[in-house]
Structure 1
């Protein structure tokens, strides 16, 4: 008995020791939000106040000290995120995450971002403030890497911390530029469709700009090759463990349309959800500088920001800055390709991709005069049909560090415009408003022209030179508006109007959000922060009811069951609202997928159909195709009869209701949108199922949907479940009548450290559409914050 008691006592003591050790270990990993800290290189003491949401308010005597401190604070909350994002562009993910990421690494290593980074850094002005402050930030990051706690993800994955470098910041810019591009998914797919089905099948696809769409108005001062290429690109981009940049909304209302007589600025960039979320907030104050900014992991200067004088934000321009060229190999020498001046040798470069627990992968990258050969890059060999990718980002001088520095350090609207003009890629709509009453929008990006016969949404002829770029346009020809007479500017990734006598080729989103924004802004002249905050959460589609009417008018309801008739009446009375309690939205969304499937899959086949679902093109196509009674797509080529529009739409509705009955039951009152539309913020390590509950945040039942202002996008599939993939990465509203009470929200929290209380403390608020203050009043900040005193280290 005594022995048993001793054993039990020993076990109890062991468990207590394990618990104490675990407690000590976990606490050692938490970010430091108070107390004191010494940093090398500081000239004077820096006071950093962490507010009630973990956002640092950094008060320093000079900017270099401020940015050194910012680097340290950013790293202690987001070092794992920095580690992942810096590895994407050079193709180094499989080094830490394993062989599953080899196709992704192969793809990105082929793009040439790393080489473009080297050229940019070689040309940088080391006497510029942009360079000095970027290096100060990097110095802060590296001090945390050297002296701070190792994030648990590094330990679980088995990654050694390495010093952060300027090239990592530039490679992050390169990844950002690529993730905006839609051409890589669309051009090879369209070419494959044209080769397989012919030009008649493209008429109903919105391949060209629609002159009847809602434009942003300006106001100035071989089939297998193409199908496989498209499939490959879709695969590697889908497997990325870090957020992709997708869409966005922004509008800036001039004093003449507000109740206060001051500018109100709103912005919600749409980015793939992840944990941690993409933005890190920081407020910096020095005697000569103040900015409340939103930072990408590892980037010194805020991509979004505001102070008491002005605010800036962004949406995606969606312009076409990638062209694919089909090269023609020499008939006997596969190392040469045809040019207008005879045959020329491919430039060959060998790269090594390190793979965790596996042999290295050796990659031969071949490059023509247009760019790297993308066909079968996974196989590392050149086939008879090489396709080269011509990308503006890697072909022109990269000045984006100077651009983001300039936007965050501007003294006037002219300064911001000048900084925006330095951005050649990615294509961005930079939105602007200030305390003086100015509102503006500039489309950033290097635009160019082809000859009239060229449609850049298809793979082009690389051999003749006839499809090559003809002219690069000056920034003055870019779409823009400054203080327009209609008293607001906006962007929803839709087609901009022309000021250069041409419509700019691109992969613009349909007019749905743009139309709704204009519909709400135009008639109202007493906007305030409360009404703008309601607008940014709007979930009504102005287009869906039109599609419903076009569809139900031709359906053969006499063939419907009783439940189908009841669902039909619900859909008929639905007004396009995607609230959580909506039933019409659930029926509509299921019907739309079945319409896609019954209309397009038979001609395209499974592979091309799945690729089409992942592009903006299908969203733009619905209104045009569904209103065409004579569309060639209506006939189901797998049957002996000739189907009509009425046949396909009637069958699609029946299929939709049948599927919903199996999924949710026959009681239509239970078909609420919240039961099928959920948001879970996924961490990169959640691929290991046992880790998912500890690292992921959610799921949450949410409203919104594709292409409403509260854009909550998902992948189209046949599951009947709409797991949200993309949405507002922040919602920001800056009211220049009361800047210190401007509001914002993050999808999860400020910290990427799972042991921080700020890992997910905004997630529930975000899912409910709530906001919090972006504090700028020092007295208020001090009262509600913890002080971390940062002093120079001897």
Structure 2
């Protein structure tokens, strides 16, 4: 026994010594001094109490070099994963398990687009923008050259390769892909439309005003083509790449001076993205003789997507415009049918490098619409089809604009992904622009499902001008807002179909709050709106369900007086969500089982249940007790809405009793509604627990303004996977006092004290300053670094 104890002690000591050596090699350095020929003048970097770098330089390119260096020192692993995802090169780092993902990502064409647009950028982008991007990339590569590899590279036995302009565009491509809810939605919607039929289809929330379906020549044959609804499942599986940001919502509003207590513009933004460790944004404050801004940077991108200067601020939400079309193609060998003619498919051979294995070669086949992502199905995507990609010129311009007119000119450069761009400035201007290149489609084309690719009459006809995009500047009501809702039809702009817009719950909450007749808005009052955890829609749903259950002979007393609040100690939301899930299953799963007797019904149902359309359909279903969805097709009788809802109540309580115990008083919401900010290595035993941040109990609702997203599923848990990626609030009366918060911290280095130091503040609804005044920065300084020319 003594020998066992001694052996165990030696083993533990060896592990401790090894980890100490690794920690020493990977420990972050916030007080470095560097000499290099890549800067022309001295650069000073002051790190504040949140490890935000305040970079002071004599030139913009020197400042960008410093930004690239410190960004890489904190987020290199995240940067690498993002560019590899956009290029379909994850296997070269993570091995054979990623080959299927890489094949899919490479097929979409983001890498090919990056090669083309990087070449165009280097040939035609303004020289000063190219120099700024070069400075940023030089900084990243200088850190890589020092061989201070983050822990993750040591664990996988790999070295990062230098970054290029092409990598920046690969990262941008994956960002655009993460907006593409169509890939998750249209395949399963198409299957539902043609396998379940019109009586069921008409009750789904897929309406588009002014759009009708005109049958095509081969409509009768559509139900005979191969089932490709599994594409939705593949896309959902790819979402598990947690270090790669998934854009999943957002709130923003800007209030004009005559509605605020200070008499200046108040600006708020919380962009909703998938949670991960590290979190999405890296904050940095840049000061040169020409420019000063405080920016939120995505991994590997040189210019901030969100930020502010002392003169103006900008933020974003998802536009959720329809920028992807799927075409059913008639394929014969290596040719396809279009306009009565057989045309040759474009054939491209791709090779995927695999860590620890042999390269994998495969072929991508394309029609003029785009790549075949499944046999007989091509994908047309604005991001790859539009002839120009000037996104980084736009991002650069946002922080350098001299006023609202110049800012709008930069906004017009954005082609994809589609965003709602929010703006406010010190002069009292406020604005909102829906930014994207919007394709002109024939009136008869219904893009909710797949389009006949053989008919030339179904082709995209061109592009709307930016002036036709939904937009609003300095409205009389005194505010602009966005929450991924369908854009308002304003001025001469078009009502552009997005058919996956979020329900209007959050948008209505913002609009109603800001429409109150008061002129004393402050950042603090806006933050209270940001943190609102009530759901008025779920309250309304619960009222309808309680009434139906009563007709069905069940008293759902716990939810009779629910006000829609979602506190961690509340019992009502625990019951509501399980009841909602059981109701949806009771109403719809039987139809899926009948239409998919091959055993794929549950997979298809779960894919459907993860869509925005599913979320938006449930209130409509409750309001339509005559819908055919309520009847169980597996029985001889006719079930009613009351029957299904009452049975779902009983089933939901049984589920909760089995999971949380028999006493309903113990069914606290926080026991099921938790979040863990997961690292890419979360599945590695012990290591994942160390690198993850959490779990933590959370309040708030799926559709509240303080939106924590989770998916209802067979397992009885409400584990959150996305939410606000930051919460920004600022008043132009005190720009240097603007506030924000990140879900974890500035650093992606687990050995850093700034890896998760903001998590307790974030999840308790607190904020911290975004410092801009030198005196304030130095008063909260934690360390200082310098980069000097040789």
Normalization by structure 2: what TM-score? 0.93
Question: Which residue of the partner structure matches residue 379 of structure 1?
Answer: none
Question: Which residue of the partner structure matches residue 168 of structure 2?
Answer: 169
> What is the CA–CA distance in structure 1 between the aligned matches of 2:231 and 2:474, rounded to whole Å?
44
| Closer/same/farther in 2, CA of residues 603 and 107 from structure 1, 3 Å limit | same
- Residues 155-198 of structure 1 deviation map (CA, whole Å, 9 limit, x = unaligned): 10111121111111111110000110111111111111111111
1:716-731 → structure 2 map (5 Å cutoff) = 716-731=712-727
Residue 558 of structure 1 and its aligned partner are, at CA, apart by 7.5
**Contact (CA 8 Å) 2:242, 2:678: kept in 1 or not?**
no
> What is the CA–CA distance in structure 2 between the aligned matches of 1:148 and 1:320, rounded to whole Å?
44
SS of residue matched to 1:31: coil
| Closer/same/farther in 2, CA of residues 18 and 93 from structure 1, 3 Å limit | closer
Question: Which residue of the partner structure matches residue 349 of structure 2?
Answer: 350
Residue 494 of structure 1 and its aligned partner are, at CA, apart by 0.7
Given candidates 249, 252, 266, the residue that maps to 1:250 is 252
| Closer/same/farther in 2, CA of residues 412 and 658 from structure 1, 3 Å limit | same
- Residues 628-669 of structure 1 deviation map (CA, whole Å, 9 limit, x = unaligned): 121111111111211011111111111111211221122222
1:436-585 → structure 2 map (5 Å cutoff) = 436-498=427-489, 499-523=492-516, 524-556=518-550, 559-560=553-554, 565=555, 568-585=556-573
**Contact (CA 8 Å) 2:242, 2:276: kept in 1 or not?**
no
1:621-636 → structure 2 map (5 Å cutoff) = 621-636=617-632
Residue 127 of structure 1 and its aligned partner are, at CA, apart by 4.6
> What is the CA–CA distance in structure 2 between the aligned matches of 1:628 and 1:56, rounded to whole Å?
56
State yes or no: 1:732 paired with 2:693.
no
Question: Which residue of the partner structure matches residue 136 of structure 2?
Answer: 137
Question: Which residue of the partner structure matches residue 389 of structure 1?
Answer: 379
Question: Which residue of the partner structure matches residue 207 of structure 2?
Answer: 208
SS of residue matched to 1:245: coil
Question: Which residue of the partner structure matches residue 150 of structure 2?
Answer: 151
> What is the CA–CA distance in structure 1 between the aligned matches of 2:668 and 2:238, rounded to whole Å?
34
Question: Which residue of the partner structure matches residue 616 of structure 1?
Answer: 612
| Closer/same/farther in 2, CA of residues 19 and 228 from structure 1, 3 Å limit | closer
| Closer/same/farther in 2, CA of residues 557 and 167 from structure 1, 3 Å limit | same
Question: After the TM superposition, which of the residue ranges 763-772 and 136-145 deviates more from structure 2?
Answer: 763-772
Question: After the TM superposition, which of the residue ranges 127-136 and 165-174 deviates more from structure 2?
Answer: 127-136
> What is the CA–CA distance in structure 2 between the aligned matches of 1:264 and 1:714, rounded to whole Å?
31
State yes or no: 1:782 paired with 2:778.
yes
Question: Which residue of the partner structure matches residue 600 of structure 1?
Answer: 588
> What is the CA–CA distance in structure 1 between the aligned matches of 2:31 and 2:330, rounded to whole Å?
64
SS of residue matched to 1:713: coil
> What is the CA–CA distance in structure 2 between the aligned matches of 1:703 and 1:146, rounded to whole Å?
45
Given candidates 261, 272, 275, the residue that maps to 1:273 is 275
> What is the CA–CA distance in structure 2 between the aligned matches of 1:303 and 1:58, rounded to whole Å?
18
**Contact (CA 8 Å) 2:471, 2:493: kept in 1 or not?**
no
**Contact (CA 8 Å) 2:743, 2:762: kept in 1 or not?**
yes
**Contact (CA 8 Å) 2:248, 2:722: kept in 1 or not?**
yes
- Residues 753-775 of structure 1 deviation map (CA, whole Å, 9 limit, x = unaligned): 00000001001111111111111
**Contact (CA 8 Å) 2:86, 2:172: kept in 1 or not?**
no
Question: Which residue of the partner structure matches residue 598 of structure 2?
Answer: none
Equivalences, count: 761
Residue 504 of structure 1 and its aligned partner are, at CA, apart by 2.4
| Closer/same/farther in 2, CA of residues 99 and 715 from structure 1, 3 Å limit | farther
**Contact (CA 8 Å) 1:97, 1:157: kept in 2 or not?**
yes
Question: Which residue of the partner structure matches residue 312 of structure 2?
Answer: 310
Residue 791 of structure 1 and its aligned partner are, at CA, apart by 3.2
**Contact (CA 8 Å) 2:249, 2:273: kept in 1 or not?**
yes
**Contact (CA 8 Å) 1:714, 1:724: kept in 2 or not?**
yes
- Residues 342-364 of structure 1 deviation map (CA, whole Å, 9 limit, x = unaligned): 11000000101122333322110
1:285-364 → structure 2 map (5 Å cutoff) = 285-330=287-332, 334-340=333-339, 342-364=341-363
Residue 14 of structure 1 and its aligned partner are, at CA, apart by 11
SS of residue matched to 2:549: coil
- Residues 52-80 of structure 1 deviation map (CA, whole Å, 9 limit, x = unaligned): 11110011111111000000000000011
**Contact (CA 8 Å) 2:534, 2:701: kept in 1 or not?**
no
Question: Which residue of the partner structure matches residue 95 of structure 1?
Answer: 92
Residue 100 of structure 1 and its aligned partner are, at CA, apart by 2.2
**Contact (CA 8 Å) 1:41, 1:792: kept in 2 or not?**
no
Question: After the TM superposition, which of the residue ranges 16-25 and 644-653 deviates more from structure 2?
Answer: 16-25
- Residues 608-636 of structure 1 deviation map (CA, whole Å, 9 limit, x = unaligned): 21111111101111121210121111111
Question: Which residue of the partner structure matches residue 262 of structure 2?
Answer: 260
Question: Which residue of the partner structure matches residue 373 of structure 1?
Answer: 372
Question: Which residue of the partner structure matches residue 217 of structure 2?
Answer: none
**Contact (CA 8 Å) 2:149, 2:159: kept in 1 or not?**
no
| Closer/same/farther in 2, CA of residues 390 and 161 from structure 1, 3 Å limit | same
- Residues 447-467 of structure 1 deviation map (CA, whole Å, 9 limit, x = unaligned): 123222211011000001122
The runs of 5 or more residues in structure 1 that have no matched partner are: 212-221, 376-382
> What is the CA–CA distance in structure 1 between the aligned matches of 2:428 and 2:17, rounded to whole Å?
58
SS of residue matched to 2:637: coil
| Closer/same/farther in 2, CA of residues 581 and 371 from structure 1, 3 Å limit | same
Question: Which residue of the partner structure matches residue 216 of structure 1?
Answer: none
**Contact (CA 8 Å) 1:209, 1:503: kept in 2 or not?**
no
- Residues 453-491 of structure 1 deviation map (CA, whole Å, 9 limit, x = unaligned): 211011000001122113411000101110111110110
1:101-120 → structure 2 map (5 Å cutoff) = 101-120=98-117
1:570-719 → structure 2 map (5 Å cutoff) = 570-604=558-592, 605-719=601-715
**Contact (CA 8 Å) 1:516, 1:541: kept in 2 or not?**
no
Residue 417 of structure 1 and its aligned partner are, at CA, apart by 0.9
**Contact (CA 8 Å) 1:456, 1:505: kept in 2 or not?**
no
> What is the CA–CA distance in structure 1 between the aligned matches of 2:664 and 2:239, rounded to whole Å?
37
Question: After the TM superposition, which of the residue ranges 464-473 and 536-545 deviates more from structure 2?
Answer: 464-473
| Closer/same/farther in 2, CA of residues 23 and 461 from structure 1, 3 Å limit | same
Normalization by structure 1: what TM-score? 0.93
| Closer/same/farther in 2, CA of residues 721 and 12 from structure 1, 3 Å limit | closer
Question: Which residue of the partner structure matches residue 417 of structure 2?
Answer: 426
